[in-house]
Structure formats: structure tokens, C-alpha cells
Amino acid sequence: MGNCSSCCGNRSDGYNEVPQLAESEREAVSDLLQYLENRAETDFFSGEPLRALSTLVYSDNVDLQRSASLTFAEITERDVREVDRDTLEPILFLLQSSDVEVQRAASAALGNLAVNTQNKVSIVQLGGLPPLIRQMMSPNVEVQCNAVGCITNLATHEDNKAKIARSGALGPLTRLAKSKDMRVQRNATGALLNMTHSDDNRQQLVSAGAIPVLVSLLSSHDPDVQYYCTTALSNIAVDAANRKKLAQTEPRLVHSLVHLMDSSSAKVQCQAALALRNLASDEKYQLEIVRSKGLPPLLKLLQASLLPLVLSAVACIRNISIHPLNESPIIDAGFLKPLVDLLGTTENEEIQCHAISTLRNLAASSDRNKQLVLEAGAVQKCKDLVLHVPLSVQSEMTAAVAVLALSDELKPHLLSLGVFDVLIPLTDSESIEVQGNSAAALGNLSSKVGDYNMFVQDWTQPSGGIHGYLKRFLASGDATFQHIAIWTLVQLLESEDQQLKKLILQSKEIVSTIRAIAEKNIESDDESEDGEAEVVQLARRASDLLSQSGTEQNQKEAVDVFNNVSAGSPISYIIGISDNGGSTSELIRVFGGPGIGDIRSRLVRLVPEEPEDEERLRIKQLLNYRLPPSAETARHEWNLIIEGTHDKWIGISSEKKELLRSFFILVGSEITKRTRPTSTFNFQLASLGNLFITGCRLFFGSLESAIFLFRSICGIPEHTHVIPVLNSNFSHHIAAGLSDGTVIAGQNQISHPSEEPLTNNQLVAGNKALSELTNKLKSQNLSALNVSLANSGFPGAGSTTPLNPGYSTPVVYMHDHDEVEDANLPGSLPSLRRGNIIFTKEEEAELSARIQRIWYINPYGQEIRPQANPKSLAAVRAAETVVYSIGSLYTSIIPCLILRGMGEAIATSSSCKHKVLILNGSFDREIGPGRTFTALDFVKAITNACVESRGVIAGEEGFERLTAETEYKKYVTHVLYLEGEGVPKVDTAKFKELEIHCWKVVGKKNDGGKGMFFEAAALTQALEMIRGKRRSPKQRRSTVDSGRRGFLPVLEI
């Protein structure tokens, strides 16, 4: 080492006298020269070599210090192993020298040693930072460069970052980043970069004024400086507060970074894209990057061959795609195909996640974009890969499919691609996120899909099928999973696919679990964090639908039974019009008129289902469709129906579509005309079939004409007749008198009372209204019953205690309802004009006593005795067989029998040989309280009703004689019944006494529900045996008179 030898020669200042060295110094110099001659075999960091160097270090002779510092600098260029304090302390001592050469060489040596991890820690612990900071401020560029380089290396260790930040180094580093010397600039910006890896350091760096310097250096011509500054800014942009500061102070930042994505340096391109990615965590930057023409260079990077470039670009575009306004520009820029290709051309998990997440974002806001994503092959690619990729990628892929499945138009395409093959197995994934996303996708696909064959086909396969997934989620105990499963179940139950409904009803596990959840006691104000209250409410909705679907399924089977029994001969269904619940209640409130819900229901069930006639099936689905339970969504869908753009119009020919639509438009126009500030039509759960029939009735002025048009359009066979028991354009309501004196007004309040919160004002109004009605009834001597109108719909009228007959008041009270302008007359009973759109069939409070009598009332609650429709009487007189079918005894069968003329026709018809009662397979509210109502009670109630229709009312002379048990056979000749748990008891011996034949029919248990079901084949056989199989078709005419809303089968009349 020449410098070392020169330290013993002439002084550089011209002084010729050889300096006097101490003996130890001379020996150290001599030894060091020998060690340097064999430097390859010498360990300078220990023993005699280190002692020789240390002697020179601590000498007062600056030349010896120079030699020592240069030696340390040389040997550390090739040996940067971990050293102890005996080595570091001499070097740190040299840093404090005032000699520039010593400073330069010592800082270089220390920077070299700072490459070693342990040395980084030791240097700082031994106090290396203060002298390094002083050297950074040296006027000598070489010293600055080496000192900053050492700080840069030290800053790569996590333990040192905070210490460096607190040491005061950030200010000098920031200033040196603007140095004219490129080496100093590189080292300074590198050091600043290393200081950006923690929150605290970033904030101190920002406070030191680093941001403007880093941004200005983005335009540097040196790639290393660009790289360091870009990366440092990327790290700084991780913090929201820093992004806000950047947005306020650096308007050219995005433009500069976009420009750097076209750099010739791959590492600069990569870091520029990552910096934009971090900035794009904010909406402002998401939009600005697109406005600054950042998409073309990003697309180039996305298609690059270097993996880091692809990763940085896809991460950036993923964040940019979050903003809805960027979706179309990104798609239009040509990103879709490259993104889809990335899913299959790389095994990099992070790239796959970002790519599919971007595709999901692009599809989020519009059906157009969803369609384009589908057409780009994203779903097919996901289906092919999803079972073979890591869980994180599976989660993103299933989430993307769930978003695409929100589009009603795309659902058939998704199903045709076979997504069930992967979604169903993934609902049992080891990842909760994958399970939830897959189930959400299945749930979205279950709504308004039109064709549910795929759900039927995959009910049990693959991996347990839809059935297995629903069972697992319902039994999970997790409120979120249960919510998804129940919501999916509700969509499936609201579909028109009878086979799918049948599969659901056959599942004991699903039905019983739904019932159990629905029966949980949740307080109305319970807002539990896990959403349990919402799950219970949804389960109650599903439970209602299960009951309805069970009834509908068995009623459909019953329609088939009666069609088989009639064998093509005329068959008539006599339907009551007193229904005032569900969406029918809203039509009655706004338009008045008869309750048409049961008529529509029967007509829809009678529409033939022939696979080759797809248009007829589409029309049936349209007229059987209910609008959603959300008021806003329901009104929106109604507008789509009116406009002819709803997906329910698909598959219906233009001539039939326009015919049907014209009546929807008519009823829509009438709704608009009747709209007032106090009265607007509620489209929640509105039946399109009900709206269509109403439009027809308003146009023709005839309910029978509306039924005729419905039959004609839907192709219901000519030998099948649907006859309203009253041919009227007015509303007809019923009331029930209980044996304890209570009167209940309105069919819905009798069978399924809806609950409504009460106010003090309403309680006062209810008491006055009750008194008023009591006086009217007393003055007209219309009933021997004391009246309390419990559950009548009067606010506050919940008591079952009969009113004192002597109570009266002269006050005439105008109800709050009378302030609403609708089709109801002022002063009419509130229970008859209140909406009953939403009610539950599962939670039924029992009646306080048995129903003793049913009668028709006018809007003011007064009893009236209407005449039965002549056509219904003619059908009964001409029939060979009358069937009282399964359903609600007091709200469906009895209202048809108490009309004037009906009892006479049944009792005296010479052609009617068989009067068959198909006994209910379960108990309901109407035949309560308790479960003591027997088959004989059914027959007695039918007899009493028929006798009343002949003009003899209970309590009048001759009633007891005409309703004696010996008279029962005039109205019922056969009883078909089931045996099992939860069915009314049948005393066959007693019936034999009364000459009424009892036929036990094979049935099946209603799993998860109540009572029993009739087996369709067994019921058909029983009816055929009663009627005689080989009778001439000309002699056979059957009138079916049946009930409504039974919990179990059959026909609704």
C-alpha cells in the first residue's frame, strides 16, 4: 500500500525534516507493511494486525492516521464480515479527525462494513451516527458521498431507522438529495428511500420537507435517482394523510409518474406503476390517473414479459378500476382480454388475485360491462381454474361470479356455462370467504332466473348439490351463512317451478331447520350485532312460503286429481270472493270490487303445463308472478311490466304480449287517477294476475268476462269452469261470531290477523267506533250476540270481553281512515279498509272461543244476505258429485254455502248423488282453540251454513230441527279422511249411524310442518270408487266446492 509507506517519508507541506516516531509507531508501521505484503492470508480484524492498525489510528501523526484509514478502506472492500467493537472503535475514532483524507477513507471503510447486518446495529450502538451526520455536512464532496452512503446502508436495518430519524439526519439528507454531484444525490435519495419503511419515519421525512425534493427529482436523468425517488414517494403515499398533502402540493406528480412508466429502466417503470397504485387508493387519484392518460402505458406494462412489471401494472389498474366512472374507459382501452389471459398464463397468486378483482370491479356498476366481462371469457376461465388455484384466488373468483350473477340477463348464460359444477363444491371449502362468496353467487343466481331446471338437476349433485349447501349453511349457526341460505331459499320458493318447490318440501332437514329458526323469540327492538333478528324475520318469511308451497303443491296435485276423476266431463270450481288479505286487500282498498285472489290462484293452477307449449308456460309464469316485497323495487318492476321490458315478457308473442299489456296499462292508469297525497297504491308483493283481472273487470264491467278472457288467453280447457260464488263488482266481506260473544270482521282477520302497533289516539278511536257499531247492531236486532269486535281491525280492539249491551254514546266519531280518499265509504269498518299485504301464517294466535256462525256484512258491519250467483246454483243442481275440498272451513267453504239458494240447491238436487267432504289433514286457527274439532264438527258446520242459506238463522224457530244430526246426510254423504298425528278425529261408528260413509285414504306426514298430506293417487282412487269408474261420460258432471288457505292440500276456492 503506497500511501502507507509515504506516511514515513517527506511531509506534503514541504517540511524536509523526517518526523520523529515513537518506537511503538515504528514497529507498527513495519509490521503493517509485512501484513500488507501477505494481505490475502492476513486477518486484519484481530490479533497483531489489528493492534498495528490501532497504533496508527491513535497516533498524533496525521500521516499515520491516513495510512490506517486507507488500510481499513482497502481491506473492507473485500472483507465485510461481522466485526467486534475492537475493530469498529478505531474506525469511529478516525471519523472524528479534522483531516479530510482521514474522514473520506474512514467513512468509506465504515460504509463497507455496514453492509453486514450485525455491523449495522453495532455501528449505531457505538455512536457512529453523530460523526457521520457531521461528515454529511462537510464541504468535501467525497466525504459527503461516503458518509451518506454509510447512512444509506445503516438505514436498511429496522432497528436503526427510528434512531437515524431522531438523530437529525433527515434534514441533511434532504438537502444533499439536491447535490450537483450525482454520487451524493444517489446516496442521499437512497437513504431517504430506506427511511420510508415505517409510519413514524415517513411522517418525520415529510416534516423535513422531503416531498418537494423527491417529486422534483422524478425528472432526473439518472435512473437510480428516479428509482429511489419513485419508490420513496410510493411508500409515502401509503398513508392517507400524505396522499392528501401530495394532492394539495404536487399537482404534477401523477403526470410525472405516468411519464416514468415509459422509462427505459424496468425498475423505474415498475416503481412508477406501484406509486400510482398507492395514490389510487383515493378517488381523486383514481380519476386523475385516467385523465392523465395513464391507461395506455399501464396496458403495455400489463402485457410485458417481466413478472414485476406485470404485477405492478395489474395492482395499479385494480385500484383505478374501483371508481365506477373508470369502468368503461378501462374496458374501452382494451384491458379485458389481457386481464382474462393473466388468470391462466401465470401461477403468480398475487397477479391472479389482482386480475380477477379488477374484472369484478369493472362489472360492478352496469349490465353492459358485466356482459362484456362475460364475453371476454372471464367466467369460463374462472370455472376452468377455480378448483385448482390457491384459496385467495378462489375467494376473488367466486366473488366475481357473485357480482356477475346480479345481472338478470346474464343468469341464463352463467348457468349454461356450468358454474354450479364449481360453486356448489366450493360452498364446502376450508375457507370461510370462499364458502360465503360461492353461496352468494348461488343466491344471486336463484332470483329471477326464469328456467330453474338447473337447480332441479343439481339438487343433490355435485358434492351434495344445492340441497347439501342449504343444509350446511342453515345448520352452521352462523348468522351470515344462515341469512344467505334462507334468502336463497326464499328466492327458490318464490319461483314458479313446482318440481323445485316439491324437492324443497321433501327435505326434512331444511323444513325443520327453517321452522326452528322462525320460532325463535326475538324482541322487535333487538338489534343484535350478528343479525340474528334479521335472520329470524327472514326465516319466518321462508316458513310462510314453505306453508304456501306445500299447499300449492298439494292443490296442484288436487287439480290433477279432479281432472282425472272428471275424465274430460264438465267440472266447475266455485270460488268465494270474500278474501281481503294479501295484495287483494290493496286492490279492494283502491278500487273496491270483489276479492279476486282465490279466483286468480285457481285460474293459474288450471293452466295446462305442456312442455311443447313454451309460450303458455311463460304466460302462466307472468300471471303467477308477484312483485318484490321492497316497495321501491316493486314499483320499479311494475313500470318495467307496463313498458314491456320486464324479463317476464320473454317468450310471449307480440300479439298476446300487447293484449295482456293493454290491461296492465289500463289498471296502471286507473291507479294513477286514484292516487292522492293521502293514498298511494302499494305494489309490495302485488300479484300480476290480480292486476290483470282487475284491469279486465274495470274494462268490461264484469268479473265473469274477466275470467273468460283469462281462460281464453291461457288455454284452460272448455270443460273446466271457474265460477265466482257471487257475480258482483262490489266488495263482499264476512264476519265471524264466536261462542263467547266476540265478533271478528273481515276474512283476513278471522284466518290470519295482521298486527299493527297502536297509539293512544287509536285506542280512543277504537272504543268510540265499537260503541257506535254496537248501537247499530242492537237497534236493528241483527244478531243475538253481544259484540266486541275483537281482532276486527279496530285499533285497540283486542279484548274478547263482550261489551255491556246497555253501553252507548251519542258521539259520532270519524275514523282516521276516513281522512284517506280511496274506494271505501266514509264510516266503513277500519278492518275492512286497512291493507293486509303482509301477514304470517306461522304465528297465529288462537281464537278466544270457537266460531259459532259466519255471515256477510256491508262496509258498516251490518249483516246482509246475498243471493248466490245463479251460475253456481245451476252448476250444483246439474252436478252428480259435489266436493267440499280441503281448505279453510269458515273462510272458504262456509262463505260459499251461506248464500241464499246454495243450501237448497245442495239438499234438493235430484242429480247430485255424492256430496263428499275431503277432511283437512291439519288444524288451523279457524277450527280452534285447541285441537278438539272433529270430523263431525265439520259436517255440523256445513249443515248449519246450508240451513242458514235456506232462510233459517240460528236461534230462530225450526233451526234446531233442520240442523239435527239426522239432517246431516242431506248435505254430506261421504267423508274422506286421513289417520295420523295432528289430524281431526273421525268417529266412524257415529257416521255410520248417520248413514254417512267414511273412507280412510292413504296419506303422508307433513315433515317439519303440521298434520298430514293426502296421496294424490289414493285420493283419485277413493273419488273414482265413490263416483263409479265406468259411468258414462255424459252422466258425469262434477262441482268442486273447496276451501282456501288450509295449511295443507288441496284446492283453493
Q: Say if residue 544 is in the same domain as residue 572.
A: no
Whether 165 contacts 124, CB under 8 Å = no
| Helix (H) / strand (E) containing 528 | none
Q: Give the β-pairing of 571-575 and 720-724.
A: parallel
Helix (H, G, I), strand (E, B) or coil at 498: helix
**Measured distance CA(208)–CA(716) in Å, rounded:** 85
Q: Say if residue 366 is in the same domain as residue 380.
A: yes
**Measured distance CA(380)–CA(385) in Å, rounded:** 9
**Measured distance CA(858)–CA(733) in Å, rounded:** 7
- Structural domain including 494 reads 472-549
Question: Of 549, 579, 603, which residue sits at a domain end?
Answer: 549
Residues across the chain: 1053
DSSP 816: G
The pLDDT score that the predictor gives to residue 823 is 55
DSSP characters over 244-294: HHHHHH-TTHHHHHHHHTT-S-HHHHHHHHHHHHHHTTSHHHHHHHHHTT-
Closest CA to 537 of 564, 518, 557: 518
Question: Of 695, 724, 753, which residue sits at a domain end?
Answer: 724
**Measured distance CA(516)–CA(389) in Å, rounded:** 38
State how many domains the chain has: 4
- Confirm whether 813 is domain-assigned: no
What burial letters (b/e) apply to 644-672, b meaning 16+ CB within 10 Å? eebebbebbeeebbeebbebbbbbbebbe
Which parts of the chain register pLDDT below 70? 1-20, 496, 523-530, 548-556, 754-844, 1006-1010, 1029-1053
Q: Say if residue 559 is in the same domain as residue 705.
A: yes
Whether 333 contacts 320, CB under 8 Å = no
- Confirm whether 482 is domain-assigned: yes
Please state the φ and ψ torsions of residue 888, each to the nearest 5 degrees.
-80, 120
Which residue's entry shows cell 351434495? Answer: 464
Closest CA to 634 of 663, 595, 591, 671: 671
What burial letters (b/e) apply to 546-565, b meaning 16+ CB within 10 Å? bbbbbbbbbbbbbbebbbbb
Q: Say if residue 562 is in the same domain as residue 619.
A: yes
- Confirm whether 154 is domain-assigned: no
**Measured distance CA(772)–CA(201) in Å, rounded:** 82
Q: Give the β-pairing of 1012-1014 and 851-857.
A: unpaired
- Confirm whether 775 is domain-assigned: no
**Measured distance CA(837)–CA(684) in Å, rounded:** 7
DSSP characters over 299-340: HHHHT-SSHHHHHHHHHHHHHHTTSHHHHHHHHHTT-HHHHH
Q: Say if residue 540 is in the same domain as residue 560.
A: no
- Confirm whether 214 is domain-assigned: no
Whether 886 contacts 1052, CB under 8 Å = no
Q: Count CB atoms within 10 A of the CB of residue 50.
A: 18
Q: Say if residue 318 is in the same domain as residue 380.
A: yes
Question: Of 549, 577, 606, which residue sits at a domain end?
Answer: 549
Q: Say if residue 360 is in the same domain as residue 406.
A: yes
- Confirm whether 744 is domain-assigned: no
- Confirm whether 913 is domain-assigned: yes
Q: Say if residue 526 is in the same domain as residue 408.
A: no
Please state the φ and ψ torsions of residue 743, each to the nearest 5 degrees.
-120, 130
Q: Which residues are CB-contacts of 193 (< 8 A; sequence separation ≥ 6)?
A: 228, 229, 231, 232, 235
CATH number, residue 381: 1.25.10.10
Q: Say if residue 365 is in the same domain as residue 505.
A: no
Q: Say if residue 559 is in the same domain as residue 520.
A: no
Helix (H, G, I), strand (E, B) or coil at 815: coil
DSSP characters over 618-672: HHHHHHT-B--SSHHHHHHHHHHHHHT-SGGGTT--HHHHHHHHHHHHHHHHHHH
Q: Say if residue 530 is in the same domain as residue 615.
A: no
- Confirm whether 167 is domain-assigned: no
Q: Say if residue 506 is in the same domain as residue 586.
A: no
Closest CA to 1001 of 988, 987, 1018, 1016: 1018
**Measured distance CA(869)–CA(724) in Å, rounded:** 7
Closest CA to 889 of 736, 1042, 725: 1042
